[in-house]
Every structure is written in structure tokens, then in C-alpha cells.
Structure 1
């Protein structure tokens, strides 16, 4: 599986993360066939869930005039994935992680999502 595809799948799985009845294993089973399970995808998903409090704090520290819970679910999930990659996984260069998040935001978010994601992640990466 290509990394872009893994990031998109991770977004689809982590999208409902803030719902009370979120069940990680059910979300993974619903979105991924057994033959499509990919190490990188599972690292993203499990890493975001395991480090959610630290990731959310890092994102919150770089939001201006916004709170994490006011963000659209797509933007919040993308920021969590990219923040995990930037600070906890560090397997790809930061500019690649940021560009991927922006591109995925253009596909799954609204017209302003890419610009917003870029602004937050760029502040974090300084």
C-alpha cells in the first residue's frame, strides 16, 4: 500500500475518534480488508490513538483563536495523523508529511482546509 493511501485510510478510520462509542478494532475491520492491512497504516492508527492526549496538546498549542474541538473532524483527524508523524514516528521528512496532509485536506476537506492545515503544521515544524 502506498503511504498516501495509508494516510487516507487512517483518516477514514480516525475520523470518528472523538465519538463516545469509537471502537478502534471495529473501525479498522470496517475500513480495511485483511489483505489490505499495512504496517505503516497500523502504525499511524495505533500511534495516534496511543498518543492522542500529547498530540492534541501539541495541536492546541499551535492553534490561534481556535480550540481543537471547534475544528472540523477531517481537519482534526488530519492534524492528529500529521502531528504523530512529525513528532512521534519521524519516518518521513517533515515537508513530505506536511505536503501529504495538505493534499489529503484538498480531497477530504473544504476549500480552506489545506491552507489551515498548512498553517498549523508549519508553525509546529519551526
Structure 2
């Protein structure tokens, strides 16, 4: 599975877990359908879940005039994924992680999602 696809699937899984509080294994199986479980995807999902509180605290420091609770679920989930990659994985260039998050925001978010994601993550890496 390509990393872009893994990031999109991770977003879908984490979004489902936050929105509906489904069981993790069931959500992964449902989202992947017949696709093989990818180690990068599972690393993203498990990493965000295990470090969610620390990730959220990091994100909060870069939100201006926003509380994390007010951020739409798609954007909040994307910020968590990208923050996990930037802080914990550090195996892709920062610009690639941000660009991927922005591109995924254009697919799953609204017209302003990409700009918002870019702004928060850009502050984070400075």
C-alpha cells in the first residue's frame, strides 16, 4: 500500500473511532475491506491512539483563537496524524508530511481545510 493511501485509510479509521467509538479491529477490517493490513497504516493508527493526549497538547499550542474541540473532526484527525508523523516517526521530510496532510484535507475536508492544516503544521515545524 502506498503511503498516501495508508494515510487516507488511517484518517478514515481514526475518524470512525472518534465519531462512532467503534471497536478498533472491526473498524480496521471494515475500512480495509479485502486489502492487506499495512504496517505503516497500523503504525499511524496505533501511534495516534497511544499518544493522543500528548499529540493534542502539542496541537493546542499552535491553534490561534481556536480550541481543539472546535476544530472539525476531519481537520482534527488530520492534524493528529501529521503531528504523529512529524514528532514520533520523523521518517519522511516535514514538507512531505505537511503536503500530504493538505492534499488529503482537500479530498476529505471543506474548501478551507487545506489552508487551516497547512497553517497549523507550518507553525509546528518552525
Band the TM-score falls in, shorter-chain normalisation: over 0.9
For the 8 Å contact 2:17–2:27, the answer to whether it is kept is no
Aligned-pair distance for 1:42?
0.4
The Cα offsets for residues 63-109 of structure 1, whole Å up to 9 and x where unpaired, read as: 00101111111000100000000001111010000000000000110
Aligned-pair distance for 1:19?
4.3
Q: For residues 3-42 of structure 1, what are the structure 2 equivalents within 5 Å?
A: 3-19=3-19, 21-33=21-33, 35-42=35-42
Number of residue-to-residue matches in the alignment: 126
Taking the aligned partners of 2:7 and 2:35, their CA distance within structure 1 comes to 17
| TM-score, normalization by structure 2 | 0.94
> What's the counterpart of residue 51 of structure 1?
51
> What's the counterpart of residue 74 of structure 1?
74
Structure 1 residue runs of 4+, over 4 Å off? none
Q: Where in structure 2 are there 5+ consecutive unaligned residues?
A: none
Q: Where in structure 1 are there 5+ consecutive unaligned residues?
A: none
Considering only aligned residues, what root-mean-square deviation do their CA atoms show, in Å?
A: 1.3
For the 8 Å contact 1:16–1:73, the answer to whether it is kept is no
| TM-score, normalization by structure 1 | 0.94
The Cα offsets for residues 38-73 of structure 1, whole Å up to 9 and x where unpaired, read as: 010000000000000000000011100101111111
